[in-house]
Amino acid sequence: MEIPAGLTESAFSQLLGCRLQRLEVGEADVALELTPPLRNRGQKLHGGAIFSLVDIAMGLACSSTHGFDQQSATIECKINYIRAVAEGEVLCRAKVIHPGRRTLVVEADVIQGDKLVAKAQGTFAVL
């Protein structure tokens, strides 16, 4: 799926260092490298950075479903953190599991290699 970068990136995703790896209809993979500004007081990848990664990937999965000519907004999102990340890169794989006309339900896994870091589910409104 070829989409101009201006539609797949935001100033915030660039600030975090998110990198789109794959975009298909209803699916998005976004990577994030652990850099010093993203560390928490325990020197691990901050949970807020992981949550932002999830929200960005889910939003792209929604846009690839309803089209980049429409917008969607997060209504709710729930995340379970499974393991801490001390170094390296994580990948968020988001997939639309219910593409409704007014709302979309999306699942996401954050992984590092073959290890599950976090699992999330969100609901988005089509605007």
Q: With contact defined as beta carbons under 8 Å apart, do 117 and 108 qualify?
A: no
Q: Which band of pLDDT confidence, cut at 50, 70 and 90, is reported for residue 4? A: low
Task: Dump pLDDT digits (tens) for 26-69.
Answer: 999 999 999 999 999 999 999 999 999 999 999 999 999 999 99
pTM of the prediction?
0.95
Residue 83 main-chain phi, psi, to 5 deg: -150, 155
- Find the mean pLDDT for residues 86-115: 97
